[in-house]
Chains A and B, each alone.
Chain A
Amino acid sequence: MRRQLSFAIGVVVVAILGIVYTFAAGNEPLLGLDLQGGASVVLEPAPNPDGTPVSDEILDQAIDVIRNRIDGLGVREPEITRQGSTVLVQIPGVDDQQRAIELVGQTAELRFRPVLETMGRNELAVFQAAESILADAADPANELDPDTIAQAQAEVDRWTLTPDAAADEETVLEPSDPASADVRLRLGPSPLLIDQIANPNGRVTGEIVSGAIANFSVGLGWYVAVEMNGGSPGADDFNALANSCFGGSATCPTGRIAIEIDGRVESAPSVNSPDLGSQVQITGNFTEGEAKDLALVLRFGSLPVELIPQESRTVSSTLGSDALDAGIAAGLIGIALVSLYLLAYYRLLGVVAIASLAVSGAMLWTMIAWLGESQGLALTLAGVTGMIVSIGVSVDSNVVYFENLKEDVRGGRTVRSAVERAFPIAYSTIVKADVASLIAAGVLYFLTVGQVKGFALFLGLATVLDLVATYFFMGPVIRLMARRDAMSQRPGRYGIPAGKVAT
């Protein structure tokens, strides 16, 4: 008697303390991206050229670079985690989600190259005219002058895009900003590093940059201040290139240096001094956003390994919060319907079942809020579904016991003795069935990824709490109730039919 009472009171106290703690500590469940909106991308490193997998160390370095890039975006609480050999990047509530994903996935090397020639808007018309001449020439009926065709062919060849050209070849690229005055740019090879002993065949890449930030001054507007490493690779290499450009030498007739990333020209500033030292300023009517993006690219241009986006997902925050609202509404309505059914069918026993559901629900909420706050474990839509489903499973523990109880009473036992006898039998059944659920949850948790993993965790949690609530709350409370004569005298009120149906 005393034991039952202390169990029941104890577990209720634990549940209440949990809720009090959750509110006092301000714990709230961490919402997954599918519930609050945001962007997520799974990146998988490309294997090394010899086919061996990328080492953990390199992957960790790449994660650092990605983290820096995202921090540079000013995003609140980005989450970057390693999942086995892949990297999961989750960015909640970014305004321009597609842009964020692109930025994270940008893995190409940053290169500095001399600009040989540019195509402006006027030259574009010439180029397009040449293209249409070639199109006409395809039809022999037009009988065009062979010289005209050859000229047009030369023009088209000259300006055909070659985004995949290697670092030591000339290449024609487009600027990443389509509004730029340059439509296409012909770039010379990226210069070799001066120090060829330490870096055989090394070329001028993002490696020479040690830092870059966007700044504002009244005279210059927004500009990017770039800090170079000393020596080579570093300021020496950059200045060698700057020097040739400033002089307008044959290798850099336009006097401009292109900053190329991912087969696109991010920016192509003119050089206005033969020796820029180790501090370089890039100016040019930038907006704040453009300057910051350029600085970001300069700082974190290259990753130590190529990361291939395997799965990218953007969820709009309205759709996300709609899903959350719907989940909560469905859960509440579901609980209300289940409660009504239990009351109608089991009467006072039903009240105990509902209370038991409340106890395990309170503990579940405490756990989820705590896991979200301290372990960064997010509640996803799959998790919400897992919990809605677990309502049915939790109620089942009560149903198994109640039906066993009714069976025993029907078999001729008194209510009191049936209550005592049925519990261990029912609980043994519940444990067997719940362990099977736990095995399912465990296997899913350890062997799968992503959504399924989140689902498994919350299903497992709910199952364990079901066992706790059944053993420490529902069982003891029913047994305490059975000690009052009311239950034996009016079993009908407890949903236990007394006597036989008159036939």
Chain B
Amino acid sequence: MKTLRLMYRGEQEFDFPKMWRAALAGSALLVLVSIGSLAVRGLNLGIEFEGGTSWEVIAPGASVADAREALVGTGAAAAKIQVVGGDSIRARADLDGAEAIAEVTAALAELGDTDTTDVNVTTVGPSWGNQITEKARNALLWFFVIVAGYIAIRLEWKMAVGALVAVTHDIIVSVGIYSLFQYEVTPATVIAFLTIMGYSLYDTIVVYDKVREISGRLSGTGRYTYNEMMNLALNQVLMRSINTSITSMLPVASMLIIGSVFLGALTLQEFAVALLIGILVGSYSSIFVASSMVAFMKSREEANVAVMRKIASRGLDGEGTRSVAAEDLSLTTTTRRPTADRPRPGSAPPRPRKKKKKR
């Protein structure tokens, strides 16, 4: 309870660098499991990527066995059948010709006791999926290049590396979860993954901007290692991270719950699952993966190595990460503004206090 109260006031002092080792080991394990699962089990790709036809019909109470029975005699007797969202049947098969497809549509409409026009039918040619996948891959590549360039210019290149490592980590783990549980990958999933990327990057940039602001002022004192400054930054952005994760997850969670209430909202549910996974992984990685990557690289810079030596020679480097002393802490808030990051003209300048009060 006290920790929570301290957190609300932003006064908690967690020792993040101490947790990095364990977190990174966990992340490495997750990434390995994900890659392993991808190699062994692969992904359960939807027809949009592999070609074929899929049907979706609302059939309350119908089981996979019922659906299988309904499809006997049609070309899709060997179709892959799933019950999704509790009330819907989704079947998938690779058929040739409009008649064969229409036959299955009719059989499923009968199963759901509805009209054939109430069955969603999607047919995708085999080469089309390849094209879509290739386009997505290209987009991803360009995205990485441009974003890396942008971060390198606006922040610094070491942070660009850290951010890309964190984003890659998020994507691998999210895709890995999909592979592990064999969730079907649909265009909705791809969009959700892309959102995750954007989200994770956004989070990471907020952390980096904070640490740059702090180190811009504290590194001049020569009293603190980069890890200590990073720790301060993380503690300062922690509540933002938590609050933003919560406010982002609330709408997504309502998508998940609503999706199970409304019958036709399968896509919404699929989005929501992928997004929830992504928001959690993304928030985690910006605090633990992205920050430790940059701290690792920056700690090897000459100036920071010198500071660490100095601190070690004085025997100040005890257990854990030292927190920033109160007088230096005030330095981070009372300096007029970060020298390295002057606001653009147009943003409001601090106004000189007026002599005359309005009231």
Report which A residues bind B (CB closer than 8 A).
Answer: 3-4, 34, 42, 44, 95-98, 101-102, 308-323, 325-327, 329-331, 333-335, 337-338, 341-342, 345, 381-382, 385-386, 388-389, 391-393, 395-396, 399-400, 403, 406-408, 410-413, 417, 420-421, 423-425, 427-429, 432-437, 439-441, 443-444, 447-452, 455, 459, 471, 475, 479, 483, 485, 497, 500-501
Q: Which of B180-237 contact A (CB under 8 A)?
A: 187-188, 190-192, 194-195, 197-199, 201-202, 205-206, 209-210, 213, 236-237
Which of B58, B251, B336, B348: most chain A CB closer than 10 A? Answer: B251
- Residue B323 at the chain A interface, CB threshold 8 Å: no
Bound-state CA distance A128–B243 (Å) is 75
Among candidates B135, B210, B244, residue contacting A447 with C-beta atoms closer than 8 Å:
B135
B139 partner residues in chain A, CB cutoff 8 A: 443-444, 447-448, 452
How many angstroms between the C-alpha atoms of A13 and B334 in the bound complex? 36
Q: Is B288 an interface residue (CB 8 A)?
A: no
Q: In the complex the two chains form, what is the Cα distance from A35 to B252 in whole Å?
A: 19
Beta-carbon contact of B150 and A439 below 8 Å:
yes
Q: Is the CB of B338 within 8 A of A425?
A: yes
User: B86 on the interface (CB 8 Å rule)?
Assistant: no
- Contact between chains at B259 and A326 (CB < 8 Å): yes
- Say yes or no: B244 contacts A399, CB within 8 Å: yes
5 residue pairs A–B, Cβ–Cβ below 8 Å: A321-B264, A330-B251, A393-B199, A411-B330, A435-B154
B334 to A412, Cβ gap below 8 A?
yes
Do residues B136 and A452 form an inter-chain contact, with CB atoms below 8 A? yes
Which has the most chain B C-beta neighbours within 10 Å: A316, A337, A497?
Answer: A316
B48 near A459 (CB under 8 angstroms)? no
Known: A312-B122, A440-B201, A483-B358. A424 touches B142 (CB 8 A): no
Which of these, A323, A427, A444, contacts B194 with CB under 8 Å? A444
Q: Are B58 and A319 in contact (CB under 8 A)?
A: yes
- CB–CB B188/A96 < 8 A: no
CB–CB B9/A497 < 8 A? yes
Rounded to whole Å, the gap between the CB of A86 and the closest CB of chain B is: 9
Please pick, from B117, B239, B254, B271, the residue contacting A337 in the complex, using a CB distance under 8 A. Answer: B254
Shortest CB distance B268–A (Å): 5
B168 to chain A, nearest CB (A): 15
Does A334 contact B135, Cβ atoms closer than 8 Å? no
Q: Chain A contacts of B116 at CB under 8 A?
A: 98
Total contacting residues, chain B, CB less than 8 A: 101
| Contact across chains for A433 and B244 when beta carbons are under 8 A apart | no
B201, B209, B358: the one contacting A429 at CB < 8 Å is B209
Q: Which of B124, B188, B261 contacts A382 (CB 8 A)?
A: B188
Which of A428, A440, A501 interacts with B11 by CB under 8 Å? A501
- B337→A424 contact, CB < 8 A: yes
Contacts of A318 in B (CB 8 A): 58, 118, 264
CB-CB under 8 A from B333, the residues of chain A are 407-408, 410-413
- B209 pairs with A432, CB closer than 8 A: yes
Chain A nearest CB: distance from B290 CB in Å?
13
A411 to B331, CA, bound (A): 9
Q: Is there contact, CB below 8 Å, between B150 and A393?
A: no
State which of A96, A309, A316 has its C-beta within 8 Å of the C-beta of B120: A316
**Residue B355, interface by CB 8 Å:** no
Chain A minimum-CB-distance residue to B198: A440
CB-defined contacts of B194 to chain A, threshold 8 Å: 440, 444, 452, 455
CB of A251, distance to nearest CB on chain B (Å)? 32
**Interchain CA distance A333-B209 in the complex, whole Å:** 33
Contacting pair B247 A399 (CB below 8 A) = yes
Q: Which positions in B face A, CB cutoff 8 Å? A: 2, 5-6, 8-11, 48, 56, 58, 98, 101-102, 105, 116-125, 127-128, 132, 135-136, 138-139, 142-143, 146-147, 150-151, 154-155, 187-188, 190-192, 194-195, 197-199, 201-202, 205-206, 209-210, 213, 236-237, 239-240, 243-244, 246-255, 258-259, 261-265, 267-268, 271, 275, 279, 329-330, 332-334, 336-338, 341, 343-344, 347-348, 350-351, 358-359
B202 touches A329 (CB 8 A): no
A314–B334 alpha-carbon span in the complex (Å): 62
Contact B236 A407, beta carbon cutoff 8 Å:
yes
* Residues of B with C-beta under 8 A to A319: 56, 58, 118, 120, 263-264
Kindly name the residue among A327, A425, A440 whose own CB sees the greatest number of chain B CB atoms within 10 A.
A440
When C-beta atoms are compared, the residue in chain A nearest to B243 turns out to be A399
Using A44-B128, A310-B128, A319-B56 as known contacts, say yes or no to A440 and B262 having CB atoms under 8 A apart.
no
B101 → chain A closest CB, angstroms: 7
Considering the chains assembled together, what is the distance between the CA atoms of A411 and B327 in angstroms? 10
Q: Which 10 A-B pairs have the closest CB atoms?
A: A334-B251, A392-B248, A322-B264, A411-B333, A326-B265, A319-B264, A326-B262, A310-B128, A424-B343, A447-B139
Residues of B within 8 A of A424 (CB): 337, 343, 347-348
Question: Do residues B205 and A452 form an inter-chain contact, with CB atoms below 8 A?
Answer: no
Q: Closest residue to B338 on the A side, CB-wise?
A: A425
Of the candidates B10, B135, B198, B250, the one whose C-beta lies within 8 Å of that of A410 is B10
Q: Contact between B255 and A313 (Cβ–Cβ < 8 Å)? A: no
> Is B332's CB under 8 angstroms from A98's CB?
no
Closest to B9 in A: A497
Residue of B124, B197, B243, B358 with highest tally of chain A CB at under 10 A: B243
**A476: shortest Cβ distance to chain B, in Å?**
8
Contact of A338 among B101, B197, B206, B247 (CB under 8 A): B247
**Is A327 a contact partner of B268 (Cβ separation < 8 A)?**
yes
Q: Give complex CA distance A381, B191 in Å.
A: 11
- Closest A residue to B56 using CB positions: A319
Q: A436-B150, A436-B151, A440-B198 are in contact. Are A313 and B236 (CB under 8 A)?
A: no
B128 and A42 within 8 A (CB): yes
Complex Cα spacing A144 to B118, Å: 52
- B-chain residues with CB within 8 Å of residue A413 when the two chains form the complex: 333-334
- Cα A316 to Cα B190 in complex, Å, equals 23
B327 CB, nearest partner CB in chain A, Å: 11
B258 touching A403, Cβ below 8 Å: no
Contact of B250 among A334, A403, A444 (CB under 8 A): A334
